[in-house]
Amino acid sequence: MVNIYNDINALEATFRKTPEFEALQAAVEVVKSDEEALNVFKNFRKIQIELQKKQLAGEDLLEDELVYAQKASQLVQQNEKISAMLEAEMKLSKVIEEVNRILIKPIQGLYEDIQ
């Protein structure tokens, strides 16, 4: 019997060794070591999470909440350390998307004849 979890755990270990993961890890450490950048990012994430919770609950977002979120986003974009971290995250996301595309391929193959 195949134990897919052994393979996934091995993939996770390999994933941590990719240049994309290592770049993100280094970028996160840079942000964490800068108190101002860290506080800006924490505030930004807090706002994002709060707005997502409201949206998932079906609540309308207030204009002042959107303006505040936009200002927080601008602060994030202006901080070079945070921008570098987010760029590294985007590069890593592309690797994850590719892995996901490969994992889904067998399922897509099952449905090809049905279309």
pLDDT in tens, 73-100: 999 999 999 999 999 999 999 999 999 9
Residue 114: its pLDDT value, please?
87
Domains of the chain: 4-114 (1.20.1500.10)
Residues of the chain with pLDDT under 50: none
- Decide: helix, strand or coil at residue 16: coil
Residue 67: its pLDDT value, please?
93
Spell out the residues 6+ positions from residue 68 whose beta carbon is closer than 8 angstroms to its own: 47
